[in-house]
Structure 1
Amino acid sequence: MTTVLLAFPLCSLWTVAAVLGAPPSSYLLAWFGIVLVVVDLRHHRLPDALTLPLAAGLLLLEFHRLGAAVLAGVVFGGAHLAVRRFRPALMGGGDVKLAFGLGVPLALPSLLPAAILSSAVTLALAALRRARTVPHGPGLLAATWALTTL
């Protein structure tokens, strides 16, 4: 049953990406993103067994622009690391590691919109769940997929 429930959003994201002619990183983000969102919502944890292969795969797919991809990953991850460092209650370590990988497929001008959109998705998730604390991973993944695909 879980496989069927995960297959529907994955097929939906892949269909949108195919219609829009999205880059290969969009498909990888959808695949890992669905699983990471479910894990983060259920357990408030982003396991290294998923985040590190995602980052490595995104880096391989962006090899043609390696310098810019690494710089974007360091800037996006570094900004999240700064938030974690100064306000640890606001962000978990898994979110920081995820942000380093998710910065890779984004162009430098897209990093600020990604941060704003991911925060908006996290706030919307908090409103929907009527909770004061919600994971930030789903917001990061949704924003990165949207900006990579659209």
Structure 2
Amino acid sequence: MTTVLLASVLGSLWTVAAALDAPPSSYVLALFGIVLAATDLRHHRLPDALTLPLGAALLLLEFHRLGAAVLAAVIFGGAHLAVRRWRPHLMGGGDVKLAFGLGAPLALPLLLPAAILSSTVTLVLAAVRRSRRVPHGPGLLAATWALTTL
């Protein structure tokens, strides 16, 4: 059942991306994002075996604007690292590593909207689950996919 649901969501995301003539990073984000979000929701983990290749792939797909992509990755990841250092209980290390990779496809003006949108998704998830302990990875992934695709 879970496999069918994940495949359906992936197909839907790819259909939207194709209809909007989205950049290749949208497809990579959809593929990795579905698996990472499901893993984070279920196990509260973002495995390096998925986050690091995703970050590398997103950076490579931005070769035409590599300097800006690296800068965006450092700023987005650095902001999450600062939150992690300031309040370690609010964010896991996997979220920080994921944020570094997810910064690459975002244009610099989209970094603040990405942070706000990802936090909003996480807060909605907390309200729906009626829990104070919710993963931030799905919010990061959803916000980045939306901002790079739409």
Using the size of structure 2 for normalisation, the TM-score is: 0.99
**Deviation, structure 1 residue 107:** 0.4
SS in 2 for 1:35: helix
Look up the match of 1:6.
6
Look up the match of 2:47.
47
Look up the match of 1:143.
143
Q: Percent identity?
A: 85
Amino acid at match of 1:86: W
Amino acid at match of 2:100: F
**Deviation, structure 1 residue 2:** 3.1
Distance in 1, Cα, partners of 2:4 & 2:114: 30
Q: What does the per-residue CA deviation read over 1:81-102, in whole Å, with 9 as the maximum and x for residues that have no partner?
A: 0000000011000000000000
How much is the aligned-residue C-alpha RMSD, in angstroms? 0.6
Distance in 1, Cα, partners of 2:113 & 2:5: 30
Distance in 2, Cα, partners of 1:101 & 1:11: 23
Kindly indicate whether residue 23 of structure 2 is the aligned counterpart of residue 23 of structure 1. Answer: yes
Structure 2: tracts of 5 or more residues without a match: none
Distance in 2, Cα, partners of 1:87 & 1:102: 21
Structure 1: tracts of 5 or more residues without a match: none
Distance in 2, Cα, partners of 1:126 & 1:3: 24
Using the size of structure 1 for normalisation, the TM-score is: 0.99
Q: How many residues align?
A: 150
Amino acid at match of 1:42: R
